[in-house]
Chains A and B, each alone.
Chain A
């Protein structure tokens, strides 16, 4: 089932939790709503579920407007961050609760419960109470309850955030596989970029109630539309340096007090065409900086953090700190001088005022 949000807004008094949001989710797609806490992503999910009424705008399931349809009639399943298992019911009763409300025949109920339980491998837990289960097991039960009524849309609110790190990684791949096997349109909310990037077909980055970018992980990582997306995606985060774009003798130069970089022509002219002023923010990911000790910008090593496979070097450039990801071996100590050079085909440029990328074609 397709889910389309049109001009969707939700205001709580003066606060605009969601503001004029447009989103089109394809049938069978696995979509993540990603954003910092309080950005409005859960509000969007609850509007799709029918718990909140939109202040303005429409929600379509395929061609049908569902704004006035009660949650129970929307054919959705939902897993909550807290799992919301009913503590006074056994696992079995929890799973078949939706069926019981639909007055399903007993035999069919048992059969369907068994089926979904098998799907996530919790058959042996059916007689227990939620309180006796581990976090991972509870999560599977909640998933079963959401799936048992064979929903057309599956909603997941921070489904992995209450699991420990090891389990989270395991569930990530399991959920992804399950979603593809079942083919149910699935929307999940998360604040964890890694979860969003690894699991979802497309990621909708939301901030302050507004959609920032909606695209696949590669696009999101390599071609962010604006400063927020560039800064939010990526760990360790991207380096931002305030510079100005200057043109002299047909050469494009990025200049600040501490550095001067010459841009390739096509990048420079594109940026110049798109920019509204000369104020530019240069973005460069830590892995796109080379540390070689012969040429480049001179900096001083502030701290070196070995991460195992890679080494994270913080280098001081004037008043700012540049993070560089490099491969071992790296031989320099705190206080040593090192030279950095940026991979020019990987740099990003943003307009300081509008915060929009200067390197994307205008749409």
Chain B
């Protein structure tokens, strides 16, 4: 009787694994194809390689089609975008998050409420207004413009997250430091910053990937090839050779996604924390 039940549970588990595996198959195969497709002469059955070749990676040393910029310049732009967003977001949100979480001042609850409402607001709807603002500031067609806009829209969310991390530091810690002789600013620098390290790490990675992967802002605000990011590059190839040059598409896509994959594998814990933390509604 007991053994029978045990076996039933095992069947259930096997079923669950099978289901999860099958459901995840498009994701597995998709990324697998990026690898295989990028280094194969051709593919049969969509994914079985026939002969190795680096031809698909030719974009690394020469411009694949006329009118495309040097991919290394594009990579530089993409890195600039990702680091730019990251640095601004982390610096601004850490400072503001601390003040909103821990300090008492007039207008605090208004600021807190605004952050709360804005962090959930779908910023993408502001695209047209943003376009106008960037145009006035003469920031269209420049990576800087995208950095500032992206950072600006990301900041309320990041402040909210950082506030949450600061909230999590025990008040005893801060009180103790004050009694030990620190000023409020010293407390921030020497005690609080190290204590919210995981939050800063999470926000950094999150902001980096968000900037690195940005799509709508890039294709809307940047047209000239010298300011392209990898998104514009891949998007153009999709537009020009939609179902034709899959080898090139796979190679450049893989080139683009590798940093994300690395981040993802090694820092998933932090990303998960931020995803949950950002949506900690109604607890």
Residues of A within 8 A of B (CB): 46, 49-51, 70-72, 74, 76-78, 80-84, 86-88, 97-98, 101-102, 145, 149
Docked CA distance A50–B178 (Å): 9
User: Which chain A residues lie closer than 8 Å to B190 at the CB level?
Assistant: 97
Least Cβ–Cβ distance between A53 and chain B, in angstroms:
10
For the residues of B in contact with A, the DSSP-based class is: helix
- Contact check, A86 vs B178: say whether CB atoms are below 8 A apart: no
Q: Does residue B282 face the partner (Cβ distance < 8 Å to A)? A: no
Contacts of B170 in A (CB 8 A): 82, 84
Please indicate which of the listed interface residues A84, A88, A98 has the most CB atoms of chain B within 10 Å of its own CB.
A84
- Known A-B contacts A86-B191, A87-B195, A88-B194; A101 and B172 likewise in contact (beta carbons under 8 Å): no
Nearest neighbor of B194 in chain A, beta-carbon distance? A88
Q: By the criterion CB–CB under 8 Å, are B173 and A77 in contact? A: no
Q: In the assembly, what is the distance between CA of A210 and CA of B207, in Å?
A: 51
Cβ B172 vs Cβ A72 within 8 A? no
Those of B161-215 within 8 Å (CB) of chain A = 170, 172-173, 175-183, 186, 190-191, 194-195, 197
What A residues does B186 contact at CB under 8 A? Answer: 101
Residue contact A71 to B179, C-beta cutoff 8 Å: yes
For residue A102, which residues in chain B have a CB less than 8 angstroms away from its CB? 181
Query: Which residues in B have their C-beta under 8 angstroms from that of A81?
Result: 172
A97 to B187, CA, bound (A): 11
Tier of interface size on chain B:
10 to 19
Q: Which of B176, B182, B194, B195 meets A80, CB within 8 Å?
A: B176
**Is the Cβ of A97 less than 8 Å from the Cβ of B172?**
no
Other-chain residue from B175, B183, B194, B197 in contact with A84 (beta carbon distance below 8 A)? B175
> Is A149's CB under 8 angstroms from B181's CB?
yes
Interface SS of A by simple majority:
loop
Are A78 and B179 closer than 8 Å at their CB atoms?
Answer: yes
B contact residues around A87 at 8 Å (CB): 195
Distance (whole angstroms) from the CB of A56 to the closest CB of chain B: 19
Closest chain A residue, CB of each to CB of B191? A86
A84 to B172, Cβ gap below 8 A?
yes
Known: A86-B191, A98-B180. A46 touches B172 (CB 8 A): no
Is there contact, CB below 8 Å, between B191 and A72?
no
> A97 vs B194: C-alpha distance in the bound complex, in angstroms?
15
Closest to B183 in A: A72
Select one of A46, A74, A83 contacting B175, CB under 8 A: A46
Closest 10 CB pairs of A and B: A84-B176, A84-B172, A80-B172, A101-B181, A98-B180, A88-B194, A72-B181, A71-B178, A82-B172, A84-B173
A149 proximity list for chain B (CB < 8 A):
180-181
Is B180 a contact of A97 with CB atoms below 8 Å? yes
Question: In the complex, what distance in Å separates the CA atom of A149 from the CA atom of B11?
Answer: 65
Cβ-closest chain B residue relative to A80:
B172
5 contacts between A and B (CB under 8 A): A74-B179, A76-B179, A86-B191, A97-B177, A145-B180
Contacts of A46 in B (CB 8 A): 175
Question: In the bound complex, do residue B176 and residue A101 qualify as a contact, i.e. CB atoms below 8 Å apart?
Answer: no
Q: How far apart sit A76 and B179, CA to CA, in the bound complex (Å)? A: 7
Contacts of A74 in B (CB 8 A): 179
B144 to chain A: closest CB distance in Å?
35
Cα A70 to Cα B197 with chains together (Å) = 28
Q: In the complex the two chains form, what is the Cα distance from A310 to B209 in whole Å?
A: 69
A49 touches B172 (CB 8 A): no
Query: Shortest Cβ distance from B143 into chain A, in angstroms?
Result: 35
Closest B residue to A52 by CB, please name it: B175
Instruction: Let me know if B181 and A78 touch, CB within 8 A.
Output: no
Residue numbers in B under 8 Å from A145 (CB-CB): 176, 180
Question: Smallest Cβ distance from A98 to chain B, in angstroms?
Answer: 4
The residue on B at minimum CB distance from A79 is: B176
Docked Cα-Cα span, A101 to B175, in Å, equals: 15
How far is the CB of B117 from the nearest CB of chain A, in Å? 24
Assembly CA distance A84 to B177 (angstroms): 9
